[in-house]
């Protein structure tokens, strides 16, 4: 799966699976823009990739701010002349990220707003910022990172997160419809538990384990590649069979 000279923007690219995807893409010849709310981490991650022979630069982006999102897209286009891939990794369960353990009906509205803004609107903003360029190029792939929670729902602490991640599936289908006449594809990847955090190991799956981050990134890279040229508009579960039900 060669990505030679493909230009990728990765939101949430300074850590976790976003960074791993960036490293993998650069190893296959891509030019990567790491967009992250943590400027220092984005710049450090990009420098590490360059030190290993890759082509990357970091840019500070709060995905809740369309101006910053648009600026990242503009920088990528000015520096490299195209935007071929968009990977929307930025996100996180708002209760955990903001240290709020309240049930949904007691959750502060600012926590709810943060979750919707980061997990759904951030992806919408980035898609809005790049789709016009991809349509003009008549090529491009957008990957939205969903979650098993967006498919099976979540309890009190995950109502908002589930709603946002479910929304990404609808966003993906709609983007696929908009982009299909121009050779632009969109896919959603919805992982179950992934070992980006130790606590994920406690979530049940039919296969009895959580996914390694590389397993999820491998699927994403396949969907980004020319090998997946006939795949668009679909949500791809990588959940160890959790969605089959009956997990208790």
Mean model confidence pLDDT for the chain: 96
pLDDT of residue 125: 98
CATH 3.40.50.720 matches 7-244? yes
One digit per residue, the tens of pLDDT, for the chain of length 248 reads 789 999 999 999 999 999 999 999 999 999 999 999 999 999 999 999 999 999 999 999 999 999 999 999 999 999 999 999 999 999 999 999 999 999 999 999 999 999 999 999 999 999 999 999 999 999 999 999 999 999 999 988 899 999 999 999 999 999 999 999 999 999 999 999 999 988 888 888 999 999 999 999 999 999 999 999 999 999 999 999 999 977 76
| Residue numbers annotated as active site | 161
pLDDT of residue 248: 60
Provide the whole-model pTM: 0.96
Q: What residues does each domain of the chain span?
A: 7-244
Note the pLDDT tens digit of each residue in 102-157: 999 999 999 999 999 999 999 999 999 999 999 999 999 999 999 999 999 998 88
8 A C-beta contact, residue 120 and residue 174 = no
- Tokens representing 202 are 């406690």
């Amino acid at each position: 799966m060669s990505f030679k000279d493909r230009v990728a923007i990765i939101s949430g690219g300074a850590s976790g699976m976003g960074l791993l995807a960036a490293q993998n893409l650069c190893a296959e010849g891509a030019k990567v823009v790491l967009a992250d709310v943590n400027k220092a981490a984005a710049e450090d991650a990009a420098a590490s990739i360059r030190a290993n022979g890759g082509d990357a630069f970091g840019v500070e982006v709060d995905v809740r701010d369309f101006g910053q999102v648009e600026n990242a897209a503009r920088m990528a286009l000015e520096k490299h002349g195209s935007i071929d891939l968009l990977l929307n990794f930025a996100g996180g369960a708002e209760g955990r990220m903001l240290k709020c353990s309240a049930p949904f009906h007691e959750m502060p509205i600012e926590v709810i707003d943060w979750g919707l803004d980061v997990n759904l609107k951030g992806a919408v903003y980035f898609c809005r910022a790049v789709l016009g360029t991809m349509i003009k190029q008549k090529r491009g792939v957008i990957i939205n990172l969903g979650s098993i929670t967006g498919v099976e729902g979540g309890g009190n602490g995950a109502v908002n997160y589930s709603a946002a991640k479910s929304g990404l599936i609808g966003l993906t289908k709609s983007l696929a419809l908009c982009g299909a006449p121009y050779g632009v594809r969109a896919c959603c990847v919805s992982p179950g538990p992934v070992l980006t955090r130790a606590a994920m190991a406690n979530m049940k799956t039919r296969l009895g384990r959580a996914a390694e981050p590389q397993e999820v990134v491998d699927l994403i890279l396949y969907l980004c590649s020319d090998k997946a040229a006939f795949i668009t508009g679909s949500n791809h579960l990588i959940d160890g069979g959790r969605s089959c039900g009956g997990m208790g």
